Amino acid sequence: MPPFKFVPYLKSVLWGGNKIAPFKGIVTDQKSIGESWEISGVPGHESIVAEGDDKGMTLPALIEKYGARLVGDKVYARFGNTFPLLIKLIDAEKDLSVQVHPDDRLAKERHNSLGKTEMWYIVDAEPGAKIYAGLSEQITPDDYTRLVGEKKIMDVIACHDSHDGDLFFLPAGRIHAIGAGNLLAEIQETSDITYRVYDFDRRDAEGNTRELHTEQAKDAIDYKVYPEYKSEYDREAKGEVPLIDCEYFDVNLVKADGHQDIAINHDSFMVIMCLEGECQIITDHGTITPMRRGETILVAAATASVEANGSATLLTAQA
């Protein structure tokens, strides 16, 4: 089967900006677009096939039709018709709220949901942009409650200068926030469970503050201080470069300049995001799928070989 393209779900939010539509080459009157859900199996926001023989079909229906041929034997045995990853582009014109996500155990217990481990790849960072990830000093759960009450929680959250190409891995439990001026790609477990810790005392048009989840977050936070929160990789390497390898997803950066083979693990589907340039994705089925900046495709696990032909920077993700 050929790779699939989906209709993006564009989400307008309080902190959203104006970068996503031009980045994706979309013309729209929609304002304050903070997120483009590129591939989603989240109930109520399931991605819809954009073209081809299966146009109009939802992602869960697509999995039901093709089964393990699409998502891979291992993935299908574990998740069935549930797609295990959520793929997004995020544009922060303003600071996002400070958040934490529960791990699988806590999310299952409280919400009958997967937890949320995620990663960010910075596509474009304005001068002075920041990423907040992890704790800068040791605190206890009681310290956390006090600091939130005193509106001083930012004093103990590690702040990082953000640059194009920076990489952050955010295991469930790591407190974090995206600072203003960041356009990034996010790959995460399929979960929409978020505990809001702090929202900079912002108010909506009616003068209301957003709900905080202080007590729920208290049990979800990893209070350990780590020596480094930014993930390093070989930025000068050509071809395919490993970025993140965890139990939920494997993510590589592919710099295509001409013909570039892309490694595929046949136990899983592959998501390909084009972050710069344009190329053709060529598979063993003889299909040629054009990609340009801002597009995302889903390649079936049954695909024997994948090649990028062109000049492009790609992210690939497998479960």
Q: Determine the Cα–Cα distance for residues 261 and 307; give it in Å rounded to an integer.
A: 4
- DSSP letters, 89-124, are EEEESSPPPEEE---HHHHHHHHSS----EEEEEEE
With beta carbons less than 8 A apart as the criterion, state whether 315 and 14 touch.
Answer: no
Cβ contacts of 43 within 8 Å, gap of 6 or more: none
Q: Determine the Cα–Cα distance for residues 241 and 315; give it in Å rounded to an integer.
A: 10
Three-state DSSP state, 28: coil
Residue 101 labelled as part of a binding site: yes
Q: How many residues in total does the chain contain?
A: 319
Residue 176 labelled as part of a binding site: yes
Q: Looking at the annotation, which residues are catalytic? A: 196
* Angle of CA points 58, 61, 66, to nearest 5°: 125
Binding residues: 101, 118, 176
Binding residues for Zn(2+): 101, 118, 176
